[in-house]
A and B are shown apart, each in its own frame.
Chain A
Amino acid sequence: MKEIYLDNNATTKVDEAVFEEMRPYFCELYGNPSSMHFFGGQVQGKVTEARERVAALLGASPEEIVFTACGTESDNAAIRSALEVFPERRHVITSRVEHPAVLTQCRNLSQKGYRVTEIGVDGAGRLDMEELKAAVDDDTAIVSLMWANNETGVIFPVEEAAAIAKAKGALFHSDAVQAIGKIPVNMADSQIDMLSLSGHKLHAPKGIGVLYLRRGTPFRPFLVGGHQEKSRRAGTENAAAIIALGKACELAGQYMDVENSTVKAMRDRLQDALMAAIPFSRINGGGAERLPNTTSIAFEFVEGESILMHFSELGICASSGSACTSGSLEPSHVLRAMGVPFTCAHGSIRFSLSRFTTDAEIDTVIREMPPIITHLRQMSPFGREHLKGQA
């Protein structure tokens, strides 16, 4: 069965050109980039090129790029470093809708005596900027806010938030894992100190990430024991993956327009058609500025896992904010923070497209999904009065 892959916020296909770029660095050019011989040196040259390519996509300088193993590592490193460089500051600010890579760490900190403030969002998933302004004080070590939400695609005004943090001398970090490659960023014209990105969200392989570290930002490494990455991240470089990420970033820059025109148009067509065909549905975060590739739609009276299992029979891959898909028992913390009623949260489906998505795939989902919802609603004990007279 050919897959219709609309789960690109979970992970993406490695671009064939990216794979070709990394291929020689396993069996042939396997040298250690740190070695003092030609064989390692030629790998070092490609790592340098990759660093330049990543920097170019971010509008950063190459020395501001620190390669890590994943977005989660970058997030952990950024927050821990801030607490180490400001030992007298005991306050951390984040949001209620962060990825667990940030949120779990902050909640662990609150058990270790740190004061942690989780800023709320409104019904459309927009950050409460007034709450943020009121929360930042002289005790705040770091403000960590995501650039774009993985579940809804809602974009936070991170530059504005960074200015608020900087005014009180706090560091500002952004988990930009979902944003990079989908919307333009420019660190040259920014107050953000640290930023995380993840390779596998932009058509590079899994297991490679970046911590962007603004020049002059005080930093204590998370991993020690080697001089790699200018002693900011010890451990032998994952050369092949770094080279792959460089290529992926170069391509992401080239496809940025496609992402914001063609991909966005397909996303809009998908959500418009589903909303029109399926009553009692709503777009989570529909009122906010969102990533061009993401839409999260809540279908009342049905449960998300059931929808995904029917999708799976047809080769359609998406994800759900429902409790049942994750093995946890409450629906997504993001949807709950937005005040999405439980009745909708359980039936929320996220579609996330990419430049590899085709119009034909979108057509298939538009054709196949309404009958699935109808079938499940007919089975459901709820909403029968509402749905009377509906298809």
Chain B
Amino acid sequence: MWDYTPIVKDHFLNPRNVGEIPDADAVGEVGSLACGDALKLYLKLDENKDKIVDAKFQTFGCASAIASSSALTEMVKGKNLDEAMAISNQDIADFLGGLPEEKMHCSVMGQEALEVAIAKYRGHEAPVHSHDHDHGPAYPDQEGTVVCKCFGITDIFLKKVIETNHLTTPEQVTHFTKAGGGCGGCIPKIKELIDEVMGARPEEPRKRPEKLSNMKKMQLIQEVLEKDVRPLLWADGGDLELIDIDGSRVQVAFRKACAGCASSGNTARMVEIKLRDLVAEDIVVEEVSA
């Protein structure tokens, strides 16, 4: 059973703002019967057409989909359109005290409906919405190339969700968007998109510190070996063990595939270069057979 927070349960059992607004200024509709959840969001604006004075929803879906919709309507009321556009799916999840990760796509659906409604109201690209609820795409107003055919999800949408939520695995992407949760055929493509989005953010170049006490130096050597060196060796079925540190002399022993490997001398040099780059210039790595 899902571990829903009391707030999720409350918004599911006592949903706020259910219904339609016949003279709504903005309407956003996402999802379909086939997909298993769908949300139609109605917004009413004040006379200046800026502030949201009323919001209502109709939702087909699980408890967290209903709770996310209810939360969304509560959150947008009283906000102007720009403020509303700034609401992220994480904000919706936070409002509810959190959602199970597998249910994050419900918060994404809420955010998406809001974005569609406002974009349409502002007259942005809003293709005629197909009312084919049989097997229509989950986000029919989303531009881009369809990546997940099962749920009709595009690359542009996926990239946005990956970036906003800092997603790093295809599994997370499935939890947040459903993409990849059907036949699974698009998982390699999702991996590419993750690399594209997350790889694009330049990592802070790491520099070795100016000055190090002996204690700090030993700690840093250990840290670099754990985080930067050993994972590389694991990839080839090898491993190493730190035997001793004496000033700048670092003694290591190679294990598993690396032990007795003809190229372990090269491996020791690789370790030395890493440590010189990230800890201190004068590091010397020695291989011992302990």
Contact residues of A with B, CB < 8 Å?
A: 301-306, 309-310, 312-313, 322-325, 327-331, 342-343, 346, 378-382
Contact = CB atoms under 8 A, between A and B. Distances in A.
A382 B38 contact: yes
Contacts of A324: 36-37, 61-62, 65
Given A327-B102, A328-B181, A329-B178, 6 more contacts: A303-B60, A306-B63, A322-B36, A325-B62, A342-B36, A346-B33
11 contacts: A303-B37, A303-B61, A306-B62, A324-B61, A324-B65, A329-B36, A330-B182, A342-B134, A380-B60, A381-B38, A382-B133
Nearest to B178: A329
Interface residues of B, number: 32
A382 to B, nearest CB: 5
Contacts, number: 79
Contacts of A380: 58-60
A301 B36 CA distance: 10
B18 interface: yes
A331 B178 CA distance: 13
Interface in B15-52: 15, 18, 29, 33-34, 36-40
Nearest to B181: A329
A312 B102 CA distance: 20
B73 to A, nearest CB: 12
A343 B34 CA distance: 6
From B18, B62, B181, name the one whose CB has the most chain A CB atoms within 10 angstroms: B62
B247 to A, nearest CB: 53
B12 interface: yes
B61 A330 contact: no
B151 interface: yes
B288 interface: no
Contact of A330 (B18, B62, B133, B150): B150
A305 B12 CA distance: 11
A79 B13 CA distance: 46
B105 to A, nearest CB: 8
B111 interface: no
A328 to B, nearest CB: 7
B63 A305 contact: yes
A379 B65 CA distance: 12
Contact of A378 (B18, B39, B65, B133): B18
B58 A346 contact: no
A303 B34 contact: no
B161 to A, nearest CB: 15
Nearest to B150: A330
From A301, A309, A322, A331, name the one whose CB has the most chain B CB atoms within 10 angstroms: A309
A346 B59 CA distance: 14
A332 to B, nearest CB: 12
A387 to B, nearest CB: 13
A237 B183 CA distance: 41
Nearest to B100: A327
B33 A342 contact: yes
B181 A330 contact: yes
Given A303-B36, A331-B36, A343-B34, A382 B181 contact: no
Contact of B36 (A346, A378, A379): A346
Contacts of B1: 312
In the A-B complex, the 8 residue pairs with the closest CB atoms:
A329-B181, A324-B62, A305-B62, A381-B58, A381-B40, A380-B60, A342-B34, A309-B63
A343 B36 CA distance: 8
B109 interface: no
B174 interface: yes
B152 to A, nearest CB: 13
Contacts of A313: 13
B66 interface: yes
A329 B63 contact: no
Interface in B57-100: 58-63, 65-66
Contacts of A327: 102
Given A305-B63, A381-B60, A329 B174 contact: yes
From A312, A322, A346, name the one whose CB has the most chain B CB atoms within 10 angstroms: A346
B135 to A, nearest CB: 8
Nearest to A379: B18
B102 to A, nearest CB: 5
B182 to A, nearest CB: 5
Contacts of B59: 379-381
B65 to A, nearest CB: 7
A329 B61 contact: no
Interface string B1-16: 1000000010011010
A292 B233 CA distance: 59
A324 B34 CA distance: 13
B58 A379 contact: yes
A382 B33 contact: yes
A343 B58 CA distance: 16
